[in-house]
Amino acid sequence: MSLPALSADQCLKCNICTAACPVAAVTDLFPGPKAVGPQAQRFRHPRLPLPDHSVAWCSGCGTCTRVCPHGVAVAEINIQAKARLVDERRAPLRDHLISRTDLLGSLATPLAPLANFALRLAPVRWAMEATLGISRHAPMPAFVGRTFRRRVQDRCMDRPPDPNRRTGQLVAFFHGCGTNYYEPELGEVAIAILELLGCQVIVPPQVCCGLPLQSNGLFGAARSHARANIASLLPFAREGIPIVGTSTSCTLSLKHDYRAILGLSGDEVDTVAENAFDFFEFLTTHLREPLERLALAPVQARALYHAPCQLKAHGIGAPALQVLRRVPQLELAFSESECCGVAGTYGMKREKYEVARRVGESLFRQVNMVKADFVISDSETCRWWIAGHTKLPVRHPAQVLGRALGLA
């Protein structure tokens, strides 16, 4: 029995998770995290078929674990149960496809203009929906012709420099697939900010964090991605070089999911986890003084900040807010929604799209109501999803800080 499953015994049935669950709030197809988690877990025999399939509606946002006052790993139980469902029923081709973001990226990058053009054509999206089950309504990001790694290969090393060539605090940057294939400018501004604060940035070799595979229940493939990343990041972690990422879901995988969901254990995975940091977590804990000395130019705008679920699951609050609040003339509103709905690849699926959209509706409404000029959110899939539904630009907080520093 896995560790999360054991925590089911701590459940008092208080329903705090059910009240917070963004999916149960919009559909009665999902009985709620308590019902499919600690409750249903008692009926999941290790060797018998699963008696109930409603856990498939869980989006994996992790809200339930975060709000549980008794330490029940509700989301982890449910993601593991979803993986068992996949083992029993086999995942559709679509799930194998959309969960291999690095494969898709490397195939599409050389053909970026063509791929982007095709993805904008209604008939193509109709065909993708009919044949694969990828919702034709789901917003899709555009590929770039030149990956982030390519763009920074001359600027940043991919291994620790010799001790006599170190010029400041070393940082290993984990860019993830979002930055590499879709938003290289985010990675560039993050590096520029780190350099401005006196860091020397290294971009280690890395593969997709494996989260899309994990959320689609493909644990075997997710674990091999995890092992590859641990092997490549371990030399940095062992030296105490912080591994910093702008993608909150990638850094959450390194910190938590490899251990708590994929079940990897041992000194190596712990060392990587303990040295992984969200970008703003790192800034506000390790670079506090130089950060406070920075002169920030005004950003005259009204913005709504939405903390992604995958950031909230870090258990560090929303550290970007400490910095955003200091930007002169930036008027901030705060999202009142638990989740934007997309939950990685969940909202892309034909059968899930409508549920995901309804989860996000209150956020989209609030964005409209506060008359935001743009939205700020730390996670890429949230950004694409919110942008697609509100037609507003959605920025990573590092991009906003970059603007206040004249870097972007």
Partner 1 sequence: MDDLVIVGSGLTGLFAASLAARRGARVTVISQGRGGLELSHGCIDILGDTPLSQGMHHLPAAHPYSLVGRETLEAALDALKQIAAADGLEYQGNTESVLRLPTALGSLHATTLAPRSMASGDAARAEPCSLAGLESFRDFHASLAAIRLQARGIPLGPCLELPLLHAPRRRDAYATDLARLFDDERLRAELARAWKPRLKGVLRLGLPAVLGLEHPQQAWLDLEERLGVPLFEIPTLPPSIPGLRLERVLRKSALAAGCSLLEGAQAIGRVDGSTKGRRVSGVVALSAGGPRVYGARAVLLASGGFLHGGLVARQDGLVRESVFDLPVHSELGRDVWVAETPFEPQPYSMLGLRVDAQMRPLDVRGEPVFENLYAAGGILAGPDRSREGSRQGIDLATAYRAVEMALA
Restricted to residues 123-152, the positions that interact with partner 1 (CB under 8 A) are none
Would you count residue 40 as binding partner 1 (CB under 8 A)?
no
In degrees and rounded to multiples of 5, residue 11 shows phi and psi of: -70, 130
Q: Which residues contact 24 (CB under 8 A, 6 or more apart)?
A: 18, 30, 31, 32, 33
Residue environment code for 287-324, b if the CB has 16+ CB neighbours within 10 A, otherwise e: beeebeeeebeebeeebbbbbbbbbbbbebebbbbebb
Would you count residue 273 as binding partner 1 (CB under 8 A)?
yes
SS3 245: strand
Would you count residue 16 as binding partner 1 (CB under 8 A)?
yes
Pick one of 132, 322, 393, 408: the residue that binds partner 1 (CB under 8 A).
Answer: 322
Nearer to partner 1, 14 or 121 (CB): 14
Q: In Å, how far are 37, 115, 171, 195, 363 from 279, measured between CA atoms?
A: 32, 31, 11, 13, 24
Nearer to partner 1, 99 or 249 (CB): 249
234 vs 272: CA distance, rounded Å? 6
Please say whether the dihedral angle defined by the alpha carbons of residues 189, 191, 195 and 197, taken in this order, is positive or negative.
positive
Would you count residue 189 as binding partner 1 (CB under 8 A)?
no
Would you count residue 25 as binding partner 1 (CB under 8 A)?
yes
Would you count residue 274 as binding partner 1 (CB under 8 A)?
yes
- Helix, strand, coil % over all residues of the chain, rounded to 5: 55, 10, 35
Neighbours of 104 (CB within 10 A): 18
Spatial contact of 334 and 364, defined as CB atoms under 8 Å apart? no
Nearer to partner 1, 248 or 345 (CB): 248
In the complex, what is the shortest distance from the CB of residue 211 to partner 1, in angstroms, rounded to a whole number? 13
Restricted to residues 196-255, the positions that interact with partner 1 (CB under 8 A) are 251-252, 254-255
Q: Is 106 exposed, middle or buried (0-12, 13-18, 19+ CB in 10 A)?
A: middle
Pick one of 9, 43, 49, 70: the residue that binds partner 1 (CB under 8 A).
Answer: 70
Nearer to partner 1, 105 or 319 (CB): 319
Pick one of 4, 22, 31, 184: the residue that binds partner 1 (CB under 8 A).
Answer: 31
In the complex, what is the shortest distance from the CB of residue 134 to partner 1, in angstroms, rounded to a whole number? 26
Stretch that binds partner 1, among 12-20, 90-98, 158-166, 382-390 (CB under 8 A): 12-20
In the complex, what is the shortest distance from the CB of residue 14 to partner 1, in angstroms, rounded to a whole number? 6
Would you count residue 369 as binding partner 1 (CB under 8 A)?
no
| Beta-bridge mates of residue 396 | none
56 vs 276: CA distance, rounded Å? 30
Stretch that binds partner 1, among 63-71, 101-109, 114-122, 368-376 (CB under 8 A): 63-71
Pick one of 198, 325, 351, 369: the residue that binds partner 1 (CB under 8 A).
Answer: 325
CA diameter of the chain: 62
Q: How many residues does the chain have?
A: 408
Would you count residue 407 as binding partner 1 (CB under 8 A)?
no
Pick one of 68, 138, 226, 324: the residue that binds partner 1 (CB under 8 A).
Answer: 68
Applying CB under 8 A, the site for partner 1 has a residue count of 43
292 vs 187: CA distance, rounded Å? 22
| Beta-bridge mates of residue 169 | 199
Q: Which residues contact 311 (CB under 8 A, 6 or more apart)?
A: 248, 252, 278, 318, 378, 379
Nearer to partner 1, 112 or 273 (CB): 273
Stretch that binds partner 1, among 68-76, 105-113, 233-241, 387-395 (CB under 8 A): 68-76
Stretch that binds partner 1, among 151-159, 312-320, 367-375, 384-392 (CB under 8 A): 312-320
Pick one of 173, 277, 279, 384: the residue that binds partner 1 (CB under 8 A).
Answer: 277
Nearer to partner 1, 88 or 336 (CB): 336
Would you count residue 312 as binding partner 1 (CB under 8 A)?
yes
Closest Cα partner for 204 from 178, 246, 171?
Answer: 171
In the complex, what is the shortest distance from the CB of residue 330 to partner 1, in angstroms, rounded to a whole number? 14
Restricted to residues 338-367, the positions that interact with partner 1 (CB under 8 A) are 362
In the complex, what is the shortest distance from the CB of residue 180 to partner 1, in angstroms, rounded to a whole number? 22
192 vs 155: CA distance, rounded Å? 11
Q: In the structure encoding, which two tokens stand for residue 154, read together?
A: 């001359």
Q: Which residues bind partner 1 (CB under 8 A)?
A: 14-16, 18-20, 24-25, 28-29, 31-32, 35, 65-71, 251-252, 254-256, 273-274, 276-277, 285, 312-318, 321-322, 325, 334, 336, 362
